[in-house]
Amino acid sequence: MANNIQMGKTLDGAVPGGALTEKWDQHRFDMKLINPANRRRFKVIIVGTGLAGASAAASLGEMGYQVEAFFYQDSARRAHSVAAQGGINGAKNYRNDGDSVFRLFYDTIKGGDYRSREANVYRLAQVSNSIIDQCVAQGVPFAREYGGMLDNRSFGGAQVSRTFYARGQTGQQLLLGAYQALERQVHAGTVKLHSRNEMLDLVLVNGRARGIITRDMVTGAIERHAADVVVLGTGGYSNVYYLSTNAKGCNATAIWRAHKRGAYFSNPCFTQIHPTCIPPAGEHQSKLTLMSESLRNDGRIWVPRKVGETRNAAEIPEAERYYFLEEKYPSFGNLVPRDVASRNAKVVVDEGRGVGPLKNGVYLDLSQATARLGQPVIKERYGNLFDMYERITGEDPYSLPMRIYPALHYTMGGLWVDYNLQSNIPGLFVIGEANFSDHGANRLGASALMQGLADGYFVLPYTLPNYLAAAKLDKVSVDDEPFRAVAAEVNGRTEKLLSINGSRSVDSFHRELGHLMWDYCGMERNEAGISKALELLPALREEFWQNVKVPGAAADLNQSLEMAGRVADFLELGELLALDALNRTESCGAHFRSESQTPEGEALRKDDEFAYVAAWESTGKPGAPILNKEPLVFENVKLSQRSYK
């Protein structure tokens, strides 16, 4: 455990009693309801219109609540969920291969290395089938078999085929379905959209979340918005690493500003490295590109057996190819979970077996599948991914193996929420990737879309009204002192950023932060490296506030100002991430401490010490948070060392 950490309280996740299989059904019955005629009296603010936010806004709007949705894109359908490729899980068992709700629950708990709350994960598995039905009813064009049934494919960490997909653009199709439902409510007058608006702070009134402060990104106007409840569905924080598969606009400002207002931030060190991304081509890059995990269904991952190999892939005979995942994990092969695949790719590249001009990748080879199935079948399954790969690399993946390497992709950490998806701040709900709740220390592929839609369509529409029905809420106005005070703070922060007028660009600070985080808190971590990060981060943050140059004005379209605020938050969040990583001396899932591994090099947990959710509380001083803990209790699965061999 890191030294000098102030210990806080033990948290209660508000998990209902009863059998695991009955908790959610009984809880839905026990929750308070609001009469349909009374719902229009309540206003709900939703920040973010990805799958979680859009589905929540559409659902609550259709129920009759007044909903206002805020997003920084020019259209709600351009939220980053649009970039998800591979698929969405559902325990339909259409393949009759042994799947079930309980198996999906078990695979998710195990895949997360036993660091998630059982009840939440079971509920996720339980509603997964309803999600598929909902999306089909919306017209989402899932792939179908010859007879018309929905098709499935496999993803990492499972030995069944449960992933529904729409080629390599599943996220886009799901988001279009949610967007259509959202626009229907806009037309009906129950939802109002605020495009090109960025949330810059949370407003509390008498200890409850009652509104937000936003900046109009076109005019620069700082605006105050009041409501009865606030919902954050703003995604994760992978861009703290600078290079990630996330869009450049993805940021942590909404959840970080909520954290600084008192919301607990859970497990920030649980950051996922995706094993199949296009390797960096040089220092000039500002982001990385995902190649869907679905490619591992038909692709084989290999490197040359010879260290320092210089021949092209086609010149290397089969006997001299090292299919390292298939050899090491015969039961799962190339479909091991993401954390396992990523670490093993790093090992072989570090050994000197890397491929490509910079020797910084491994091969993902679909040549055998193409020969077996024919190019038309491969094109039907993965055509858009192959086209994207060729446009980026200039290489034809139909004739050459793809080159891939792990990259930052998803964050399992996020704001702490209870079983009802409510943070420790009453009236502040957090959904989708913005919360910590379902994936433990490692998310299985095709589960992010599942969680986002589960939260928005099938969980929040029950739990949020339960809060509103029980809470005694005073009327508030944007002219009240709490709103004026927070807006003044936001204006002050903006003016300070513009007034520094230093010599370094915002991007240079972000890039340096990313290098620092990747080098010391990346795929493999150790005490010396994390301690070095904690030594360098405060100095970098101090230099930022003394030497950053933000051109332009506040009352205008100013992307440099937008990025400056986000990078300022990343600099603080990065320090909390490193502190959490230092404190958690075990290895679990994607958090791999080199001091804690099995003789075979696998993650070695310390259940006696770390079977808890770390929920960090801000004290207003960077680097000095309070650690609250929610113990994790496992009554339905047995804690064991993960094995995919």
Chain centroid to CA 236: 4
Rounded to a whole number, what is the distance in angstroms from the first to the last CA of the chain?
31
Residues 296, 441 contacting (CB under 8 angstroms): no
Backbone angles phi, psi at 192, to 5 degrees: -115, 130
Q: Which two tokens stand for residue 359?
A: 């020797």
Chain centroid to CA 177: 20
State how beta strands 402-411 and 362-365 pair: antiparallel
Residues 313-322: contacts with CB within 8 Å, 24+ apart?
313/355, 313/363, 313/365, 313/400, 313/401, 314/400, 322/348, 322/353
**Distance (Å, rounded) from C-alpha 636 to C-alpha 20?**
8
User: Which string of b and e fits 408-434 if b means at least 16 CB within 10 Å?
Assistant: bbbbbbbbbbbbbbbbbbbbbbbbbbb
DSSP lists the bridge partners of residue 199 as 214
DSSP codes joined into one string, 591-618? B-BTTSB-TTS-B---HHHH-EEEEEE-
Burial class (CB in 10 A: 0-12, 13-18, 19+), 125: buried
Residues 527-530: contacts with CB within 8 Å, 24+ apart?
527/582, 527/585, 527/593, 527/595, 530/578, 530/581, 530/582
| DSSP H or E segment with residue 44 | strand 43-47
**Distance (Å, rounded) from C-alpha 378 to C-alpha 380?**
5
Burial class (CB in 10 A: 0-12, 13-18, 19+), 393: middle
If one counts every other C-beta atom within 10 angstroms of the C-beta of residue 477, the result is 10
Catalytic residue annotation: 338
**Distance (Å, rounded) from C-alpha 272 to C-alpha 287?**
16
Residue 223 makes CB contacts below 8 A (sequence gap 6+) with: 197, 213, 214, 215, 216
Residues 564, 495 contacting (CB under 8 angstroms): no
DSSP lists the bridge partners of residue 31 as none
